[in-house]
A and B are shown apart, each in its own frame.
Chain A
Amino acid sequence: MSKAAQASGTEGLMPTVLKVFRGRRSKSATGADKSFRWLTLGCSLLVPLMMIAIGLELVLTSLPALKHFGWRFFFSQEWNPVLQEFGAASSIYGTLVSTLIAMLIAIPLSLAVALFLVELAPPRLSRVVGTLIELLAAVPSIIYGMWGLYVFAPFMSHYIQPFLGETLGFLPLFQGPPMGIGMLTAGIIIAFMVLPFVSAIARDVFSLVPSVVKEAAFGMGATTWEVTYKVTIPYGLVGIIGAAFLGLGRALGETMAVTFVIGNAHKISASLFTGANTIASTLANEFSEATEPLYISSLVALGLVLYVITYLVQMFSQMMLRRMYRSWSVGL
């Protein structure tokens, strides 16, 4: 008991104060606490509910088209709003091929960037470069589209495509007039857009590998490349796969930039120089003009395909990344 309390004669009051306080807490406060807890729980369940609601709504709205066309919907290349004949094959093909091109470029590029940031660059340079690469992720998709259509596509048609045509023109992939827009250009731009996402996680993975392990390899006389190739990458493989799938999910759904540069043609062709389309670009181009119920339903069915693919890819990516962070925070 403090001297001040004794002096002012409040000593006798203390038990009463405590009792009053405890009484208040046990009734109204815990009641409020309980409802507050339920409120926050409700809000946090809103996120998974939203996820499920989106899936359900897509299934319900796309049912008419799926019933009408059956399996044909997924294998037909026909897309004719006038004749009300819809098939998803060219959109699905375009989505897969443009994503494949993007990932073939983005994964090595992102790993190299991460390697540079973690192992090679001095800390200050690494911070600046890391920030700049992250800013790439902040540039809105439509800006990539503007730049892609007006700047990068002409660049492709003047320099890259003629060069590819001359050197690798014997492959059907690189035949045809160098128009600039098309599958290849779309794939390359997606790669630039995915790069910051993959490299950010790869960077985490590289820097999470315990330095003892790396130093042991350096101590054996290994070079930086050998340490990366034989120690860091195998050690962080789960995380790198997770990062790659995260990028894959983003690449599959990339919309605006692709819509600008892919040429929007509903056909499958061997050449990467010709116009194509993806699920997302078809939705972006045609949705606001679709009026007939079957047309809208077919477009939503395309959306459903994209939803299912990205959901599976994201799920796999989350599982991999979680496994990595779990085992590393516990195991080491």
Chain B
Amino acid sequence: MKPRPPTGRRLANLVVSLSAGASALIGIVILFWITIIVVIRGFGALNLAFFTQMPTPPGVGGGGLANAIVGTLVLTMVATLLALPLGLLAGIYLAEFGGEARAADYSRFSANVLMGMPSIIVGVFAYAMVVVPLGHFCGYAGGLALAILMLPVVTRTTEDMLRLVPNTLREAALALGAPRWRVILAVVFRAAKAGLITGTLLAVARVSGETAPLLFTALNSPYMMTSLGQPTPNLPVTIFNYAMSPYPDWQQKAWGASLLITGGVLALTLLTRYILGERKR
């Protein structure tokens, strides 16, 4: 015979178990609710013109967001080019040289704090550093803001990924007489390649939908960008402006852009999870 706890305790347990299941369900429902709405409302806006044509004034109809799509790609690329080398090198120090040193500890701590810093604050910083001296909004400021947001993500994932590489590989390379820097760049990096790519993709996914740091740095523009010294059109701020506008055709464009961004970010995130899953196996 199995001893069973008295009814009251069993009941409490049942209630808690059910509400735990319900909580998980709420999370999933919200996720699907958002994705389904974005797909339904955004799908109608996506056509060839959306990707190839320039925006039209409200009410005119037609047109697309080619400039914003290009602008977002360029801004993300600029941010990646700035943050990736610095983040990789910083990660190398933390994993290979730093250890428990105070400098490494402080850097790790700051990276975690910076990751939790509201992105709009980083926007204010980029505004004060770039927009104020130059006297006008520009793409450089937007790229800088995104790069600052990427830096701690790349740094921490690089450290984590390099730490997964077994020490025997390093020892073998050192024993062959290779200097530390070659051991790291040629051997450890190669062993951690998949992880490093994943980390980069995660960082890109994180910043490509960021709106707040671009609002008053890159701003937005209805024209195709010609240089980063000018206000740079981009998808997130376009979504914000169009969604807040009273024009139905602009709102529909905003949904189309939302679908593009959400689809891109979720796909990148799932891809990184897949790569990491493959590695663990």
A contacts, CB < 8 Å to B? 21, 25, 29-30, 32-33, 36-37, 39-48, 50-51, 53-54, 57-58, 60-61, 108-109, 112-113, 115-117, 120-121, 129, 131-136, 138-147, 149-151, 192, 195-196, 199, 221-226, 228, 246, 249-250, 252-256, 259-260, 280, 283-284, 287-288, 299-300, 303, 306-307, 310-311, 314-315, 317-318
Contact of B23 among A113, A246, A300 (CB under 8 A): A113
Q: Contact flags (1/0) for B100-137 with A, using CB distance below 8 Å? A: 00011011011111101111111111011100100001
A314 contacts B112, CB within 8 Å? yes
Known: A51-B110, A51-B113, A249-B116. Contact between A142 and B240, CB under 8 A?
Answer: yes
- Please provide the 10 A-B residue pairs with the shortest distance between their CB atoms, ordered closest to farther: A253-B118, A140-B209, A40-B93, A112-B23, A29-B179, A223-B13, A43-B89, A48-B110, A36-B181, A44-B90
Distance of A310 Cα from B121 Cα, bound (Å): 10
8 Å CB interface, B216-241 against A: 216, 219, 236, 239-240
Q: With A29-B179, A147-B37, A149-B243 as known contacts, state yes or no: A57 contacts B97, CB within 8 Å.
A: no
B266 touching A135, Cβ below 8 Å: yes
- Closest partner residue, chain A, to B122 (CB atom): A54
Contact A37:B236 (CB < 8 A) given known A140-B262, A283-B120: no
Interface of B is mostly: helix
A225-B107 contact, Cβ under 8 Å, with A39-B89, A43-B89: no
If A112-B20, A141-B209, A256-B212 touch, whether A33 touches B258 (CB-CB below 8 Å) is no
- A228-B15 Cα distance, complex, nearest whole Å: 14
Q: Are A253 and B16 in contact (CB under 8 A)?
A: no
- In the complex, A113→B152 CA distance in Å? 28
Contact of A224 with B13 in the complex, beta carbons under 8 Å: yes
Hey, what's the 0/1 contact readout for B142-173 against A, CB within 8 Å counting as 1? 00000010011001000000000000000000
Where the two chains meet, the residues of B that have a C-beta atom closer than 8 Å to any C-beta of A are 3, 5, 9-10, 12-13, 16-17, 19-24, 26-28, 30-31, 33-35, 37-38, 41, 86-87, 89-94, 96-98, 103-104, 106-107, 109-114, 116-125, 127-129, 132, 137, 148, 151-152, 155, 177, 179-181, 184, 205, 208-212, 215-216, 219, 236, 239-240, 243-244, 254-255, 258, 261-262, 265-266, 269-270, 273
Q: Is B118 touching A254 in the complex (CB atoms < 8 A)?
A: yes
Indicate which residue in B87, B179, B261 contacts A143 across the interface (CB closer than 8 Å). Answer: B261
Verify A41–B103 contact, CB threshold 8 A: yes
With contact pairs A43-B90, A151-B33 given, residues A30 and B129 touching in the complex (Cβ less than 8 Å): no
Chain A facing B: main interface SS: helix
A32, A40, A221, A249, most chain B CB atoms within 10 A = A40
Chain A neighbourhood of B30, CB < 8 A: 136, 192
**A21 CA / B273 CA spacing, docked (Å):** 44
